[in-house]
Chains A and B, each alone.
Chain A
Amino acid sequence: DSGVTQTPKHLITATGQRVTLRCSPRSGDLSVYWYQQSLDQGLQFLIQYYNGEERAKGNILERFSAQQFPDLHSELNLSSLELGDSALYFCASSRAGTSGRIIDNEQFFGPGTRLTVL
């Protein structure tokens, strides 16, 4: 158990709908990362938040958005869903501080949310 929790485990919805995925990082971790894993693309970075602020963006679609709350949990919002959005969505967390210690950069992944768009 990595200490990162994600809900829900599974989500089945229809095209055009909107869903929210939730992530709680490990205790003490300030940084949250979202990744998408599909069969044809592998694991792709979407977005990173650090202590409530957006830090980096990957190939995240405009239909997708995220935020990190004061208690450091994060939500990924996916709207106007398409069939191609069906994938596993993972959240990872790290301390990502400025201590310079390598151990602070290790990213630990949650169990993922499996999204199926019908």
Chain B
Amino acid sequence: QKEVEQDPGPLSVPEGAIVSLNCTYSNSAFQYFMWYRQYSRKGPELLMYTYSSGNKEDGRFTAQVDKSSKYISLFIRDSQPSDSATYLCAMSGIEGNEKLTFGTGTRLTIIP
């Protein structure tokens, strides 16, 4: 079993819809949770960075962490065609400056 599970998709939604992306994990040591966006043939771009449980909002993006369920989510409101990319969840341990353990990524397409 992988430490981090993420539905690979692909996921297609119409422009303007709310997108929900999720990851589950098994390692209780994970304390820091991130979402990266990766366009084709590009490097991952950090979108959201959260610590422990709770919500964090940044513009159209909201990250949620539920440590009791070992479940994290990324919501994208008012989705745009430019949001079409692969979204990767990532996690690290208590020190924060450790290696990242990634999900496999969800490929998202926003249909105009």
Contact = CB atoms under 8 A, between A and B. Distances in A.
Interface in A21-63: 31, 33, 35, 42-45, 48, 50, 56, 58
A105 B43 contact: no
Nearest to B104: A42
Interface string A101-118: 010111111111010000
Interface in B82-112: 88, 90, 92, 95-105
Interface residues of A, number: 29
B44 interface: yes
Interface residues of B, number: 25
B32 A105 contact: yes
A110 B45 CA distance: 9
A40 to B, nearest CB: 10
A45 B99 contact: yes
B105 A109 contact: no
A45 B42 contact: no
Interface string B4-40: 0000000000000000000000000000101010000
B105 A42 contact: yes
A2 interface: yes
A109 B97 contact: no
A10 B34 CA distance: 28
B44 A109 contact: yes
A86 interface: no
Interface of B: 32, 34, 36, 41-46, 49, 51, 88, 90, 92, 95-105
Interface of A: 2, 4, 31, 33, 35, 42-45, 48, 50, 56, 58, 90, 92, 94, 96-97, 102, 104-112, 114
6 contacts: A42-B103, A48-B99, A102-B49, A105-B95, A107-B34, A111-B42
